[in-house]
Chains A and B, each alone.
Chain A
Amino acid sequence: MAGIKLDTLTKSYGDTQVLHHIDAEIEDGEFVVIVGPSGCGKSTLLRMVAGLESVTSGNVHIGDKRVNDLEPADRDIAMVFQNYALYPHMSVRDNMAYGLKIRKLSKAEIDRRVNEAAEILEIGQYLDRKPRQLSGGQRQRVAMGRAIVRDPQVFLFDEPLSNLDAKLRVQMRLEIRKLQKRLGVTSIFVTHDQVEAMTLGDRLMVLNGGYVEQFGTPIELYERPASIFVAGFIGSPSMNFLSGAANAGQVTLSNGTTIATGSTASGEVLLGVRPEHLKPEENGPFKMTIEMLEHLGGVTLLHGVLDGTDTQIVASLNGITDHQVGDQVSFAAKQSHLHLFDAKSEKRIEE
Chain B
Amino acid sequence: MVENRPFLAILSHLILILGVAMVALPVWITFVGASHEAERMLQTPIPMWPGDQFFVNLKQTFWGSGLTGTSIAPVWMMMFNSLLMALMIAFGKIAISLLSAFAIVYFKFPFRMGFFWMIFITLMLPVEVRILPTFEVVADLGMLNSYWGLTIPLIASATATFMFRQVFLTIPDEMLESARIDGAGPMRFFWDILIPLSRTNIAALFVILFIYGWNQYLWPLLITTDADMSTIVVSIKQMLEAAEQSPEWNIIMMIALLAMVPPIFVVIAMQKLFVQGLTETDK
Contact = CB atoms under 8 A, between A and B. Distances in A.
A219 interface: no
Interface stretch (B88-96, B172-180, B212-220, B252-260): B172-180
Interface in B197-221: 197, 199
Categorize the interface residue count of chain B.
Answer: 10 to 19
Interface stretch (B181-189, B222-230, B264-272): B181-189
Nearest to B195: A89
Interface stretch (A69-77, A118-126, A300-308, A325-333): A69-77
A83 B182 contact: no
A87 B181 contact: no
B174 A85 contact: yes
A290 B283 CA distance: 52
A219 B6 CA distance: 75
A50 B197 contact: no
Contact of B192 (A72, A77, A98): A98
A85 B174 CA distance: 6
A82 B196 CA distance: 23
A108 interface: no
A65 B32 CA distance: 80
Nearest to A50: B181
B6 to A, nearest CB: 42
Nearest to A132: B282
B180 A72 contact: yes
Contacts, number: 56
B175 A102 contact: no
B193 interface: yes
Chief secondary structure at chain B's binding surface: helix
B178 A81 contact: yes
A3 B178 CA distance: 23
Nearest to A152: B181
A52 B180 contact: yes
B181 A88 contact: no
Contact of B193 (A52, A77, A81, A87): A87
A83 B184 contact: no
Contact of A83 (B172, B181, B193, B196): B172
A79 interface: yes
Contacts of A98: 182, 184, 192
Interface of A: 50-52, 71-74, 77-79, 81-83, 85-90, 98-99, 102-103
Closest 5 pairs (CB-CB, A-B): A73-B183, A99-B182, A85-B174, A85-B178, A89-B196
Given A50-B177, A77-B181, A88-B197, 13 more contacts: A52-B181, A71-B183, A81-B178, A85-B174, A85-B177, A85-B178, A86-B178, A87-B178, A87-B193, A89-B197, A90-B196, A99-B183, A102-B184
